C-alpha cells in the first residue's frame, strides 16, 4: 500500500502529476486544487489513494490529508465514482466542499462537471451526518463551548466544519472570537478561515 509519494514533479498536466521518486515516475490523477499547489521540477508530496481493478491500477494524489479524506467520503456515496469525486474537489476544494455539505449548498456541488442535482442532494444527505456529528453541540462543554451562545446550530455547524478541515478546538475558538452571533454558518466559517490565514 502506498501512503504517499515524495519527489520531483517531472510532469504536470491537467488532471495528472508525475512524481519522480528515485528514478521511478508515479503517475497520479490530481484535482485542480492540488495542481494549483504544485510546481514543475520542484519537490512535492502527494498522499495516495489506490484504485485497483482488473483492467487498471490508478493512483489518486492529494496535496493534503484533508483533501484525501474528502475524496474518500465522496466515493463512499452511492453513484459517486473517482471521476465525479475528483471533479467536485477540482471545482470547490476541500474547504468549500465541507462547507457546501454542512450548509446544504447544492449549487456549489452542481458547479462541478457532470454533477447533477440528484447526486448533489445524495452527497449532502449521506455525508452531512458524517461531517457534522457534532452539529447539535451542548455548549455547556465539548469542543464548541466557546462558540457564540446565540449562534445556535450555525455556530455548531461552523465548529464541526472547521474541525473536519483539521483545525483544533482551541484554534477554532480563537478564530471565531468576535464573530457576529447572528452570522450564518458560511459567514462564520469564512470569518474563521480569514482569521487563521491572517494569523499564519
8 Å CB contact between 127 and 73: yes
Distances from the Cα of 5 to the Cα of 20, 54, 73, 185, angstroms: 9, 23, 21, 36
8 Å CB contact between 175 and 196: yes
pLDDT at position 120: 95
CB atoms within 10 A of CB 111: 16
- Let me know how long the chain is: 200
Helix (H) or strand (E) run with residue 52 in it: strand 43-53
How many domains does one find in the chain?
3
pLDDT bucket at 166, cuts 50 / 70 / 90: confident
pLDDT at position 140: 32
Which CATH number covers residue 190?
A: 1.10.8
Distance CA 169, CA 157 (A): 13
Q: Which of 106-115, 122-131, 157-166 has the lowest mean pLDDT?
A: 157-166
Same domain, 53 and 103: no
Which CATH number covers residue 85?
A: 1.10.150.20
Residue with cell 483545525: 167
Which CATH number covers residue 25?
A: 2.40.50.140
In-domain check, residue 139: no
Same domain, 72 and 125: yes
Three-state DSSP class for 6?
strand
In-domain check, residue 138: no
Could you list the residue range(s) of the whole structural domain that residue 81 is in?
65-131
Same domain, 86 and 118: yes
DSSP 140: T
Same domain, 9 and 56: yes
Does residue 74 carry a pLDDT above 90? yes
Same domain, 74 and 47: no
Q: Give the list of residues 6+ apart from residue 151 with CB closer than 8 angstroms, or none.
A: 158, 179, 181, 182, 183, 188
pTM: 0.71
Burial degree of 49 (CB within 10 A; 0-12, 13-18, 19+): buried
Amino acid at each position: 500500500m502506498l501512503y504517499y509519494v515524495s519527489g520531483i514533479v517531472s510532469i504536470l498536466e491537467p488532471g495528472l502529476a508525475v512524481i519522480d521518486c528515485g528514478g521511478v515516475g508515479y503517475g497520479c490523477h490530481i484535482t485542480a486544487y492540488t495542481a494549483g499547489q504544485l510546481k514543475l521540477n520542484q519537490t512535492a508530496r502527494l498522499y495516495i489513494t489506490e484504485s485497483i481493478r482488473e483492467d487498471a491500477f490508478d493512483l489518486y494524489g492529494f496535496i493534503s490529508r484533508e483533501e484525501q479524506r474528502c475524496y474518500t467520503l465522496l466515493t463512499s456515496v452511492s453513484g459517486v465514482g473517482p471521476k465525479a469525486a475528483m471533479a467536485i474537489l477540482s471545482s470547490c476544494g476541500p474547504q468549500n466542499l465541507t462547507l457546501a455539505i454542512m450548509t446544504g449548498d447544492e449549487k456549489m456541488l452542481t458547479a462541478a462537471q457532470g454533477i447533477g442535482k440528484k447526486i448533489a442532494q445524495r452527497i449532502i444527505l449521506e455525508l452531512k451526518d458524517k461531517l457534522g456529528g457534532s452539529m447539535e453541540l451542548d455548549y455547556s462543554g465539548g469542543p464548541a463551548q466557546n462558540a457564540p451562545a446565540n449562534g445556535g446550530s450555525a455556530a455548531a455547524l461552523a465548529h464541526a466544519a472547521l474541525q473536519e478541515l483539521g483545525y483544533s478546538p482551541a484554534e477554532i475558538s480563537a478564530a471565531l472570537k468576535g464573530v457576529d452571533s447572528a452570522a450564518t454558518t458560511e459567514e462564520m466559517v469564512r470569518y474563521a478561515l480569514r482569521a487563521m490565514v491572517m494569523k499564519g
